[in-house]
Every structure is written in C-alpha cells, then in structure tokens.
Amino acid sequence: MFSKILIANRGEIACRVIKTARRLGIKTVAVFSDADRDALHVEMADESVHIGPAQAAQSYLVIDRIVEACRQTGAEAVHPGYGFLSEREAFPLALEAAGITFIGPNARAIAAMGDKIESKKAAAAANVSTVPGYLGIIDSPEKAVTIADEIGYPVMIKASAGGGGKGMRIAHSADEVAEGFARATSEAASSFGDDRVFVEKFITDPRHVEIQLIGDKHGNVVYLGERECSIQRRNQKVLEEAPSPLLDEATRRAMGEQSVALAKAVGYDSAGTVEFVAGQDRSFFFLEMNTRLQVEHPVTEMVTGLDLVELMIRVAAGERLPITQADVKLDGWAVESRVYAEDPTRGFLPSTGRLVTYRPPAEGRSGAATVRNDTGVYEGGEISIFYDPMIAKLVTHAPTRAEAIAAQSTALDAFAIEGIRHNIPFLSALMAHPRWRDGALSTGFIAEEFPDGFAEKAPEGEAASTIAAVAASIDHLLNERKRGISGQRRPNAVRFERERVVMLDAQAVPLTVEDGEGGGIVAAFGSGERIAVASTWTPGEPVWTGTVGGRVLSVQVRPVPNGVRLSGGAVAATARVYTRREAELAALMPEKVASGAGKALLCPMPGLVKSIAVSAGQDVKAGEPLAVVEAMKMENVLRAERDATIAKVVAKEGDSLAVDAVILEFA
C-alpha cells in the first residue's frame, strides 16, 4: 500500500479523496493554483504544492507540473479525481515514465474507452448497440452541418475528450449546428485541452442510466448497480439516484453484464462508468464510458456500502477486488442533489463571490435516513470564476425512494448559504414535483416542466398557514425579547397585541397569537384552525428549525426591512407581521416602482468577455448574437431581445466584468 499520494484535482473531489486516504493511513499532497491558495483541499492535505496561475490550462491541466509536484514531495501515486487530466491517456503514461502509480485505469483502457469517439468504435466492434452518429473527426462547421443533415435533426455535438456537460450542444437546425460547433470546440479546448468533437443523433424523451464498474489488475470486473441521472440542465446532471426507478432486475442484469463484457474487452482495471441512453420501454443504447470516478459516485456508495475511492486505491496498489458479483447487494435508495453557485431565477447563470454563510445540514443518521454532504468549500471562502460552480453534493439514503426524497427535501431546507446566489430553492422545488416523485423522468424533464424558467412559488393553502405561523412565532420571540430590555420606563406596562395580520408579500393572513406549552405559541386562524409552533431558534440564525403542528420543519430566514424572507418546502415569501391597525396603515403606503434597465446590454453574471459580435452603428435583429461571456468554464451567448441599433460598445474582448456591468448600449 502507498504511504503518500497526490491528488491532481481541487474542490470537493480532492477533499473526498483526502478523507479516504486519511482513514487508510495514507499521507496526502494537494496541488493548487493561484485562485486556490486558501482552498479547503489545501488545508486538509498533509502537504501542498503550487502549480501555476488560476486558469486550468496553465495549472491543473499541465502534466509536467503534476509530475514535478510528485517528485518534490515523494508521492508514490496520483489520484486524478474527475475532470481535468482524469481521462487523458498521456497522464498515466507520463506518471509511469516517472515511476509513479496512476490511481485509475491503464492508459490502453483510457485510449480505448475514455475518448468518446474511440469508445464508440470499440463498442461497435464488440457488437454493442450504439446511438447512430458520425465517429470520425470533424474539423469544420461546414462538415458538421453536412453530417448533421445526413443523420437527421436533432443532433448532439459532443467533445471527444469531454464530460460534465462541457463542450456539448444540442442542435435542431443547420444554423444551430454551425454555432454549436464553434461553442463546443472552444469549451472543449479550454476545459480539456482537446477541441475535437463528434456528432450523433439526439434521442428524444430519453433517460440517462449508467452502470458503475470496478475492476482490478487480475482480470476481475464487477458492476455495482446503476444510477439514474436523467434530471439534467444544459446537459449537466442536477439530481442523481440509485437505483433507477425505471429498471427491473432483468434489465439491470443485462446492462451490467454488457458493461462488464465491454470493460473486460479493453482490460479495464479501476473504477469506471458505462453510460446508456434508455428508452421509456427499458430499451438501452451504449452512449460512452467514463474512465474515472463519477461526480455522482456517492449514491452508489450509499446503496452498496462500498468506498469506491478506497477500492480504486487498493486495486492501483495491486490488490485483488475484495468482492465478487454475488457479494454486491443494493440496500435502500439514495438521492443526490448538486448544489451549484448559480441563480435559478436568472436562467441559472453562474454566481461568484464570498460565502458569507455556509451552514450545511448535520451529517449522519436521523431516524431511518442518513445525510451526507461532500463539499470543498467553507464559510468565508470564495467561489471562483475559473472553475466548476459546484458548492456541494447533498446525499440522503433511506429504505425507500419516497423516504430518501423526503429526507433530501428536509436537508435542503436546512442548508443555509448566503453571499452568492445558489440553486437550493430550485432543488427544493424539484423534490416537491409530482413527476419527480412518481419517477416519470427523462433528460428533458427540466425543459418540459420549467419552460419559462424558475421562480419561487408563493405559499398557498396549508403552506401559507405554515409560513404565517412561523412568521408569527419569530415576531412573538422578538417581542418577548423587547420586554427584557433593561432601563425601560414602565416595563410592566408593556403589552403586545395578540391579534395580528401576517402579510406574505401581498397576501394577508389574519391570526391570533396565544401562549403555547414550553414557551411556544399557538397560531389561531379565523377558519378555526389552530397550529402549535415551537422552536429553539434565536435571532440571527439563518435557519429556523422547530415543529409546526407537530411536524418537524426547517425554514430559511433572511432579514428584510420590517420583516423576514422565509423559504422552505419549495415556497418563499417576504413576511411582515402587523397589528390590525398597522396592517390597515401599511396598505395605504405607496409602492416604489423599479425603473427600467435602460437601453443597454448588461452582463448577466460575473464573467470574461470572450468576444463581441457587433460594432457601433450596426443594426441587429431579435435573436442575433451580441457577445459571448465565459463563466465557470461555460460560454454563454448573449442575444438581442428585439430589433435595435448599437449606439456604443463599452466592453472589449478579454474584459472581466461584474454582474450587471454594461457591455454595450443601444440607440
């Protein structure tokens, strides 16, 4: 067994590998760029080595710098994590030449299966059913259009060395192919150092199901069940679960055995994932093989009880797999939510900045469920513009799918993040969505269910009563604290009215506050409904946790002028608690109307200007590209919302802009 390993990665996956290495008694070395000097993985590791500037192409993607870091520290092996160099054939070859072990598959297997084009050729040679497409190199947008015309629309343009949704575009026309080719090749070059792309038919209404494999250097390969990753946005997975609600045992066995046969054909000897496009009728087609540990590996670990990082380290050290296929049993259900630094109310655009508050839910067992949070950030840390926007992976495990979803929903409500925008409200809405709960999934789920984008819903019915009761409880606590202020002129004469009106934005909820048992309250509504509310919450805490009507509840609390912003259970509202007379007066107050944004194109997120497509005096049509802004390795095309004339171009290529910075002005 190794005594010291280096992790050639950053963020949560580097922290994840360090945890297992520490448990095995193995010392760890972290590498870091200029942007990651104060990162969590650097703090957690036993040693750290600086490897270059913030841009990944000048640091995390430079093989020579990783090899030199190993030489400096005496690291005997390297775990690549996922992304960056994890699927580059040249990386294990360079490590081997330096006498360093690669904790991953052999270079021959990476060449055969890690490259998306070569893996399809290998699968076709093995008579594995594959999605129709063109497996050759495409060197121009014109050639891409010709191929797409022959295959038939829609098509998928994909980076050969890609993964994680980078370098991937769906095109429904020749124009979209040409533009998608340019974006995909550019993203592929910046993310993977390889701009090759291929084109394949895009299967409509598909599901994404993948098989987890683990092999050793003695010819043994087993499959560890499947994961369903159909809930995706922009080809990036958002929710994952294991097992899949689609598969039956026969289909699971068929997919698993086919995956193992394919892996053995190329001598695969580490953790890997075979991905399939599955039809609603349980038909499936080989899509690609990821020759690395997947982002979503925790759900497999939760249902199998296995540590995949430990198995990778052990087989890299030459040990045989400690399990056979007969030993693999799936226990319960696991659900994973990817918590991203992005604004779901603004088209999921990236959000960067300081994590003023970062309070994940408590990990461990709670009742029948278990909560796990894999992360690489900390309170006070920065979310950088240079890397993937993932903050954490929140995982829940329970005996049944319904219980795992319920536990996930509760955990999301208790996850407090401030300082940046994040997608927790969107994830909470997904957990409450009937179609998700029914398991009626497809990769088009988000586009179909949220065609107009996402906005937090106002509470209605029972949810409105619950949120109003929590608001009344918070207001009551604040009033009680006011009674205790010293030096009051007549403290015994201070009394607070019990009849209240809770304004949930524009919705008025009258209620009466009564003293409850144990210091709580009872909210009595005009309908006769009475809800007991109890909590140990204190002002300043970002999450209110307590019982409402006997049900345990977590609600996010954000102070606003004369009230609080409350969110939880997929609903949100600004709550202000008034006396009846105050409510009457508040209704007479004039509302401030926000002014228009002006005749300007604003940068929708912090980012780097990749290109400006127009010039001053130019006429543009609605839908025409104006600029391309890159943030967190994704290129975003900004288009004209209506016909206009460009009056002035303010920004230039290479500028780093803040959110809402002016890019250009219209006449």
Distance (Å, whole) CA 183 – CA 637: 9
Give the pLDDT of residue 385. Answer: 83
pLDDT: is 597 or 385 the higher one? 385
Which residue intervals of the chain bear CATH 2.40.50.100? 600-666
* pLDDT tens, position by position, 6-62: 999 999 999 999 999 999 999 999 999 999 999 999 999 999 999 999 999 999 999
Distance (Å, whole) CA 532 – CA 539: 20
Contacts of 242 (CB under 8 A, 6+ apart): 225, 226, 227, 228, 299, 300, 302, 303, 330, 333, 334
Would the pLDDT of 526 be above 70? yes
Residue type, 196: R
Contacts of 428 (CB under 8 A, 6+ apart): 409, 412, 413, 567, 568, 569, 570
Give the pLDDT of residue 490. Answer: 66
Name the 3-class secondary structure at 606: coil
Q: Apex CA 440: angle with CA 435 and CA 444, to 5°?
A: 90
pTM of the predicted protein model = 0.83
CB–CB of 48/68 below 8 Å? no
pLDDT confidence of 633, banded at 50, 70, 90?
Answer: low
* pLDDT tens, position by position, 366-387: 899 999 999 999 999 999 888 8
Least confident of 289-303, 391-405, 540-554, 616-630: 616-630
Sheet with 364-366: list strands edge to edge: 284-290, 271-278, 207-215, 221-233, 236-242, 333-340, 390-398, 369-375, 364-366
* pLDDT tens, position by position, 318-327: 999 999 999 9
Four-way CATH pick for 132-201: 3.30.1490.20, 2.40.30.130, 3.30.450.20, 3.40.50.300: 3.30.1490.20
Give the pLDDT of residue 595. Answer: 52
Distance (Å, whole) CA 471 – CA 466: 9
Mean pLDDT for the chain overall: 92
Name the 3-class secondary structure at 483: helix
pLDDT confidence of 519, banded at 50, 70, 90?
Answer: confident
Q: Which helix (H) or strand (E) holds 34?
A: none
Which residue intervals of the chain bear CATH 3.30.1490.20? 132-201
Fold of 600-666: OB fold (Dihydrolipoamide Acetyltransferase, E2P) (2.40.50)
Q: State the burial class of residue 259 (Cβ atoms within 10 Å of its Cβ: 0-12, 13-18, 19+).
A: buried
Give the pLDDT of residue 307. Answer: 98
Average pLDDT over residues 178-203: 87
Buried b (16+ CB within 10 A) or exposed e, 548-567: beeeebbbbbeeeeebbebb
Q: How many other C-beta atoms are found inside a 10 Å radius of the C-beta of residue 179? A: 17
CB–CB of 341/350 below 8 Å? yes
Q: Which helix (H) or strand (E) holds 578?
A: strand 571-579
Average pLDDT over residues 280-289: 90
* pLDDT tens, position by position, 460-473: 999 999 999 999 99
Give the pLDDT of residue 136. Answer: 77
Which residues are marked as active site?
A: 288
* pLDDT tens, position by position, 219-264: 999 999 999 999 998 888 999 999 999 999 999 999 999 999 999 9
Distance (Å, whole) CA 171 – CA 181: 9
Would the pLDDT of 565 be above 60? yes
How many contiguous H segments (helices) and E segments (strands) does the chain have? Answer: 17, 40
Would the pLDDT of 598 be above 60? no
pLDDT confidence of 593, banded at 50, 70, 90?
Answer: low
Q: Tell me how far the alpha carbon of residue 345 is from its chain's centroid.
A: 15
CATH number of 462-482+496-586: 3.30.700.30
Which residue intervals of the chain bear CATH 3.40.50.20? 4-103
Judge: domain 4-103, CATH 3.40.50.20: yes
Give the pLDDT of residue 350. Answer: 82
Which residue intervals of the chain bear CATH 3.30.700.30? 462-482+496-586
DSSP characters over 41-109: HHHHSSEEEEEE-SSGGGTTT-HHHHHHHHHHHT--EEE--SSTTTT-THHHHHHHHTT-EESS--HHH
The structure tokens listed for 375 are 């992360």
Strands 197-201, 133-134: pairing is antiparallel
Strands 551-560, 543-548: pairing is antiparallel
Give the pLDDT of residue 190. Answer: 82
Average pLDDT over residues 261-276: 94
Would the pLDDT of 493 be above 60? no
pLDDT: is 604 or 12 the higher one? 12
* pLDDT tens, position by position, 69-97: 999 999 999 999 999 999 999 999 999 99
Give the pLDDT of residue 452. Answer: 87
* pLDDT tens, position by position, 422-459: 999 999 999 999 999 999 999 999 999 999 889 999 99
* pLDDT tens, position by position, 98-146: 999 999 999 999 998 877 777 878 887 777 777 778 877 788 999 999 9
pLDDT confidence of 525, banded at 50, 70, 90?
Answer: very high
**Percentage with pLDDT > 70 across the chain:** 97
Give the pLDDT of residue 160. Answer: 80
